[in-house]
Amino acid sequence: MKKKIITAVCLLSVLALCITIFVVSSIRRKIPENPPGTVGNTSGNLYNKGLFCEKDGYVYFANAYDGSALYSMRSDETDMKKLIPTEVTSINTDGNYLYYYQASSGSGEGFGYVVSSSGIFRVNIKNTKNSACLDRVLSKYVLLADNSVYYTCAGDTLSLKRVSTDGKDKETLLDLDILPVSIQNSQFYYMNNQDNLHLMVLDLNTKATRQVATEDVYMPIIEGNMVYCIDIHDGYSLISLNLSDGTKTLLDNARTDVLNITDSHIYYQTSGDNPQLKRIRKDGSDMEVVADGTYTNINTTSQNVYFTRFGSDTPIYKTPVYGPVNVTTFDAASNAALQQAIKKK
């Protein structure tokens, strides 16, 4: 009888231990809720491949000196760490997790391989072994907002999809070729690439869509009631739009190819006979040349504006956000990549 009691107690103890381990493991795996208004990256950065992303004093970036692997550093470019070895773009963060598009990695051939190894991924910042693929798709744009990840999807048709941060809920929002812009108060702003270039908004609650501005624009960056963008029908000039009263202001009539903004300035690339990377204050004053030539991938952080020459991923150039223009190379990233290469030997 005593043996049966001891056996039963042992079984119950083992069962209780298993339940405890399961509960603790489930809690650890649970993705915490983000506060309302959480946005994973700026629209300006995401237009430029989302190669840099900043949160709480840390910058997460694709290190082009190391195959665009995912690195982290402090905003002052110290405490450099390699997090993920594969090529990443469209980096987003909520401070606890990183969300990004991972291109194909390793060896393989054919379209099927690319699809199976590419996708939207989530990784725990403090434990990069804790990662998950939220959707295996081909995508060019990923945006984290509140507790959902929005992303364009290329397949038989082009579409906009949404998946919850825990990966459980997934839905298609639009069967259109679009360029996502931003999300504000459950309003998803996007540019309609398929039928026209109108700035549109999708109400995420009702799923109703409406046109926001009459101008056909490209790369619109919304900041409050102001939109900084490229005017398609006016020689691709740089303009600002006031959404409150419809006022349009010409900032630069040079053909503009790409732009991004900081708190005070617009950084933009012009083309033509004398291509230049420029910056101008948002009110149209103090236009300056940052660098002569053609540049792209303009990404901003609180301290620096990073960019590369068109057609080349390296070197990565930078100029400080505050103070005069001073273009240098992103040596901290190249040195970190060199140290990683030495470790492999």
Q: How confident is the model at residue 184, as a pLDDT?
A: 87
For 18-75, the pLDDT digits (tens) are 343 333 333 345 789 998 889 999 999 999 999 999 999 999 999 999 999 999 999 9
How many helical (H) and strand (E) elements, i.e. helices and strands, does the chain have?
Answer: 4, 26
**In the chain, domain spans:** 36-344
Whole-number Cα distances in Å, 338 to 99, 306, 333, 334: 26, 20, 9, 6
pLDDT at 108: 43
| CATH of region 36-344, choose from 3.40.225.10, 2.120.10.30, 3.20.20.120, 1.20.840.10 | 2.120.10.30
For 6, the token pair is 């001891």
Per-residue pLDDT averaged across 158-183, rounded? Answer: 92
For residue 245, what are its two tokens? 């009263």
| Nearest-angstrom CA–CA distance, 326 and 305 | 11
pLDDT of residue 115: 43
pLDDT at 109: 46
- Residue-level pLDDT at 60: 98
Q: How confident is the model at residue 4 (pLDDT cuts 50, 70, 90)?
A: low
Neighbours of 286 (CB within 10 A): 10
pTM score of the predicted model: 0.88
Which band of pLDDT confidence, cut at 50, 70 and 90, is reported for residue 8?
low
Of the pLDDT bands very low, low, confident and very high (cuts 50, 70, 90), residue 113 is very low
pLDDT digits (tens, 9 = 90+) for 255-277: 999 999 999 999 999 999 999 99
The mean per-residue pLDDT over the stretch 174-190 comes to: 90
Q: What is the pLDDT of residues 74-109, one digit of tens each?
A: 999 999 999 999 999 999 999 999 999 998 654 444
Residues 6+ apart with CB under 8 A from 207: 173
How many Cβ atoms are within 10 Å of 110's Cβ, its own excluded? 8
Q: pLDDT tens, 296-306?
A: 999 999 999 99
Average pLDDT, the chain: 88
Distance CA 209, CA 188 (A): 9
**Residue 189: half-sphere exposure toward Cβ, Cα within 13 Å:** 20
pLDDT at residue number 230: 96
Please give the average per-residue pLDDT across 235-249, as a whole number. Answer: 94
Task: Measure the CA–CA gap between 151 and 166, rounded to whole angstroms.
Answer: 15
